[in-house]
Amino acid sequence: MIHLFPLFFMALVLPVQAGEVLVERRAIEDFKPVIATVEPGRLLTARARIGGIVEQLKIKEGQGVDAGSEIALVADQKLLLQIRGLEQRIRSQQAQRDQARVDAERYQELLRRGAGTQTQADQSRTALDVAERVLSALMADRDVIAQQMSEGTVLAPGNGRIMTVPVVIGQVVMPGETIATLAVDGYILRLQLPERHARFMRAGDNVTIMGRGDDQTALQKGRIRIVYPDIQGGRVIADVEVDGLADYFVGERTRVLVPTGQRDAIFIPQKALSVRAGVWFVRLKGGTELAVQPGETRGDEIEILSGLKAGDVVLTP
């Protein structure tokens, strides 16, 4: 015990070994916080193909739909009346066709027995042919009207989410009128940056999306899909692809960090700084302390705006 106590005391008073960091300027990518707006990747419009009255609406705003699913029904009562009239004419013409067939068979039998003439047989066959052709024409007209009635069913033009439904049940609509708009291809973030940043932005560049509301933490990474070659009102517009925007609202705004070029900066480990009375200090090799002005933090490093120069050696605990 006599020999162990001095060794334990010496271990307590030995200084902690310090590390050395050579200060140097390096090129870093500069980022600018901007506001982006959540927009649908692509908007499709479901339109009425015939005029009539909206009898059914099977969708509502915010609902997801599949391509080809029925979303509304437009009915035209005039088409129903027309098809009923054609059904009556078809039944009448079928009776005339049947009678013409009976007459043609009878005259053919009389001609075979020698009691009829060839002229009568030819006329009966012609009357049967005319009756069948008229019946075919009426049935074709009925099919045309039936097709028009089936076009009253409005189908979703793609997989997506219903954004707007500008009609109500009972409303009169015209051919080509909008029944609903759909957002397809998911959501994207639309950026509008000052035109001076246009030369720094390229399709494929990565951006960082911040949290919603007051959350200042980085949420996830996104990728610039397209930079539009049209500057509007002094601003360049770009679209950013991001996964996980399904629970966002269209038009919702969020903060995004976008690259705006490179600059030279000095970064040192955060643990090299100490603070006293609200002033930040670093210790140089040799024991000198310098007051510095810290700036942006990136990972475990912090930018030094003033107080250090390239070539200094900073001590870290």
DSSP-derived pairing of the beta strands 172-173 and 235-241: unpaired
> Tens of pLDDT along 175-197?
999 999 998 877 888 888 888 87
Q: What pLDDT sits at residue 300?
A: 85
| Residue type, position 96, single letter | Q
Secondary element (H or E) of residue 283: strand 279-283
Flag whether pLDDT at 272 surpasses 90.
Answer: no
Report the percentage of the chain scoring pLDDT > 70.
91
> Tens of pLDDT along 82-130?
888 889 999 999 999 999 899 888 888 888 888 778 888 888 889 889 9
Contacts of 194 (CB under 8 A, 6+ apart): 234, 235, 236
pTM comes to: 0.56
Query: 73 versus 208: which is more confidently predicted?
Result: 73
Beta bridge partners of 29: 262
- Please report which confidence band the pLDDT of residue 262 belongs to, taking 50, 70 and 90 as the band edges: confident
Nearest alpha carbon to residue 245 among 206, 187, 185 = 187
| Residue type, position 168, single letter | V
Q: What pLDDT sits at residue 270?
A: 87
Q: What pLDDT sits at residue 15?
A: 39
- Please report which confidence band the pLDDT of residue 2 belongs to, taking 50, 70 and 90 as the band edges: very low
Residue 90 has φ and ψ, to the nearest 5°, of -65, -45
Query: 13 versus 249: which is more confidently predicted?
Result: 249
- Please report which confidence band the pLDDT of residue 3 belongs to, taking 50, 70 and 90 as the band edges: very low
For 15-80, the three-class secondary structure string (H helix, E strand, C coil) is CCCCEEEECCEEEEEEEEEEEEEEEEEEEEEEECCCCEEEEEECCCCCCEECCCCEEEEEECHHHH
Candidate from 17-31, 53-67, 98-112 with smallest mean pLDDT:
17-31
How many residues does this entry show for the chain?
A: 317
Secondary element (H or E) of residue 118: helix 118-150
